Structure 1
Amino acid sequence: MTKIVPEDKARQGHWGWHALRILVVGLLLAFIAWGAVEIYGEMIRSPTSDQSVPGAPAAGQKPPQGG
């Protein structure tokens, strides 16, 4: 004879506060890691403002006079 189990008793588990806390903490840790990588990426980026434009005179030099 087969045993009949009510639907609310047959479930494996239920979503509770413990599972929600684990998911939220995991999401926060992912954001912290993402932020750390962004900061590190900005620190190792080569500066683009120090590069001079080709053909432009360097600072302190006068452009050639032509007529």
Structure 2
Amino acid sequence: MPETERKTTPEEARQGRRGFPVLMVLVCGLLLAAVVWWGVEVYGLMLDDQQAIELPAAQDDPTG
């Protein structure tokens, strides 16, 4: 091997760092997903209350 070749340290060879910033991204993403889920649930409950209820026609109805 030529002597001019430089050795790479393990810290330089890593593609990314682990630690607090990555944890914060994961936690914030989870919280954002929970907020969106909650919003969709509330919207769905509001839609249920506004829907008209259609009852089937009675079988013993003399006009039918």
Q: Among 18, 21, 45, which residue is 1:18 paired with?
A: 21
CA distance in 2, matches of 1:21, 1:28: 10
- Structure 2: which 5+ residue stretches go unaligned? none
Partners of 1:3 and 1:28 lie apart in 2 by 44
Quick check: 1:39 aligned with 2:42?
yes
Aligned to 1:8: 11
Unaligned ranges ≥5, structure 1: 58-62
TM-score in terms of structure 2 length: 0.64
CA–CA distance in 1 between the matches of 2:35 and 2:59? 43
Q: Which has the higher contact order (CA 8 A, sep 6+)?
A: 1
Identity, % of aligned positions? 35
Give the number of equivalent residue pairs. Answer: 57
Q: Write out the 4+ residue segments of structure 1 that deviate beyond 3 Å after TM superposition.
A: none
- Letter matched to residue 8 of structure 1: E
1:6 offset after TM fit, Å? 2.0
TM-score by length of 1: 0.62
Instruction: Give the alignment's Cα RMSD to 1 decimal.
Output: 2.4
More helix by share: 2
